[in-house]
Amino acid sequence: MGGTIITQDQFDRFVDDYNEDYLLLLKRASGRHYECLVTSFSILKDFYDLLCTLYDNGGLVYHRMPYPFTARADEQLLSHLGFTEEEISNIYNFLPYVKATMGIELQEYINSGNWELCFRADVP
């Protein structure tokens, strides 16, 4: 019995999708577009955990490493990803924003699993 749940090609695409989504969330934070970002980070954390589980249990290899999941991305990584000092500052300001608006640290909120999904309605 056994076998892999997904193919290596599928796994590689999952890693690419995760990296793309992670970068998108950082770009949103770098531009101070914080609305609904907590929900997005929570969902992305689940995706990251899935990647790790598939890697650990599925006989798969990382051809490209997923970016480390953290809202406190290191300045060297952020610079390597092309963010300016001001954008990095905006990314770092997201964490105090979460604490001030939600009364809880981002990591604590993500770990709680009690997420409130954020919906954005465009009003004409």
pLDDT in tens, 1-17: 355 578 999 999 999 99
Whole-number CA gyration radius for the chain: 16
Determine contact, residues 100/45, Cβ cutoff 8 Å.
Answer: no
Q: Mapped to the 3 state alphabet, what secondary structure does 60-111 carry? A: CCCCCCCCCCCCCCCHHHHHHCCCCHHHHHHHHHHHHHHHHHHCCCHHHHHH
pLDDT in tens, 41-100: 888 999 999 999 999 987 899 999 999 887 677 888 899 999 999 999 999 999 899 899
Cα–Cα distance for residue pair 62/28, rounded to 1 Å: 27
pTM of the predicted structure, to 2 decimals: 0.83
Lowest mean pLDDT among 32-36, 53-57, 67-71, 116-120: 116-120
